[in-house]
Amino acid sequence: MYSDLGFSTSPYSINFKSATTPITKLKYRNNLGVVMGFGGSYKWFAVRLAFALTKNLKPVSKYGKTSYIDIGLDFPIKKMYFEFDFRNYKGYSIKNAVVYNSSFGGDNTNEIRTNASTLSIALNGWYFHNKDFKMPPMKGKVGHFNRQVITWYLKNTINVQGIGDVESIIPIELTDSLNTKTKATTISSFDFGSIPGIGYANKYKNWQYAGMFGFGPVIQSKFYIVNETTRGFFGLAPRYDLRLIAGYNVPKWFVMLSTEFDNKSIHFNELKYKNNNYTVRLLAGIRLDKKEKTKEKKEKKIKIF
């Protein structure tokens, strides 16, 4: 059984070309919230419930309000480990909007976009070549490593992702009639593929540290919507997989710092969208061991016979 404290965020940026402005990049930021969770794991079954301690850490007057929906499921099957994630964040601000609109001056240089949102639906499955490399002990929730373990892996991934707004995603002051993509109200994609990577875990005394890194292309079908007209394209997109976990881990209890990074990107001619999702959590928990009860049962059997 464990508790965790941390945050997840999903900032994104758009690079574009427009004949009406020299500006080529916009940065969109959501307002961070601190989340506390409680959960437990037993063999293949795991459950976690979470609630927001603070919905928005940054000043609402400068960064607006962001609402969060996060749903996640994970479970291991032999050498495979599966995760399902649903993320929907609504409410963003464009940093330094004063460079294209002087009305955003003074104390607030950002433009608040209350209807701007990001969506990510992902199903991931990792195949680990070394059967001793397992994700639950790596996270510290179930068991711990007592020696060095190295493996190569394949991350099989299916993703639906995108951004949207009720008006053009790029502010109207920066849109270009010759580059209709700058007037898009929705940018989205469906992609799938297998990403190769390396996993490593080790322990020094009672300190455990582990990491995973993978990189590779996925097949992507991408779309954008302008004036209720959808245009689609087909191509490849780069993806990386990065996780770093470290902490104090003994048989009875553990304290681990977990960081996860996941990038999303959609590239069109004269417009590029990049979304970097990352999660940082501090986990602390205890393990309920049945070893002593098992010993008692064995002693009773010996006495009977």
DSSP per position, the chain: -EEEEEEEE--EEEEE--TT-S--EEEEEEPP-EEEEEEEEETTEEEEEEEEEES--S-HHHH---EEEEEEEEEEETTEEEEEEEEEEEEEEETTGGGT-TTS-TT--SEEEEEEEEEEEEEEEEEESSTT--HHHHHTSS---SS-EEEEEEEEEEEEEEEE-SS-SS-GGG-BTTBGGGG-SEEEEEEEEEEEEEEEEEEETTEEEEEEEEEEEEEEEEEEEETTEEEEEEEEEEEEEEEEEEEEE-SSEEEEEEEEEEEEEEEETTEEEEEEEEEEEEEEEE----HHHHHHHHHHHHHH-
Quote the pLDDT of residue 73: 82
Quote the pLDDT of residue 298: 47
Nearest to 159 by CA among 116, 121, 113, 206: 121
The arithmetic mean of pLDDT across residues 250-277, rounded, is 92
Asked if the model's pLDDT at residue 301 lies above 70, the reply is no
Quote the pLDDT of residue 107: 78
Quote the pLDDT of residue 295: 46
What pTM was estimated for this model as a whole?
0.86
Quote the pLDDT of residue 290: 61
| Rg of the chain, C-alpha, whole Å | 23
Q: Which residues, 6 or more positions from 239, have their beta carbon under 8 angstroms from its beta carbon?
A: 157, 191, 193, 195, 215, 216, 217, 218, 263
In angstroms, the CA 224 to CA 236 distance is 16
Asked if the model's pLDDT at residue 305 lies above 60, the reply is no
Asked if the model's pLDDT at residue 8 lies above 70, the reply is yes
- Higher-pLDDT residue of 141 and 241 is 241
- Quickly state the pLDDT bin for 296 (edges 50, 70, 90): very low
Q: What's CA 30's distance to the chain center, in Å?
A: 14
Return the structure tokens found at 135: 């994700």
| β partners of residue 42 | 45
Q: What's CA 117's distance to the chain center, in Å?
A: 15
Instruction: Specify burial of residue 45 (Cβ count, 10 A radius: 0-12, 13-18, 19+).
Output: exposed
pLDDT averaged over every residue in the chain? 88
The arithmetic mean of pLDDT across residues 251-272, rounded, is 92
Asked if the model's pLDDT at residue 268 lies above 80, the reply is yes
**Each residue of 55-114: pLDDT tens digit?**
888 889 888 999 988 888 888 888 899 999 888 999 999 999 999 988 887 778 899 999
The arithmetic mean of pLDDT across residues 172-192, rounded, is 94
| β partners of residue 225 | 186, 230
What percent of the chain is modeled with pLDDT above 90? 60
Do residues 200 and 128 lie in contact, with contact meaning Cβ atoms separated by under 8 Å?
no
Do residues 223 and 242 lie in contact, with contact meaning Cβ atoms separated by under 8 Å?
no
What percent of the chain is modeled with pLDDT above 70? 94
Do residues 57 and 41 lie in contact, with contact meaning Cβ atoms separated by under 8 Å?
no
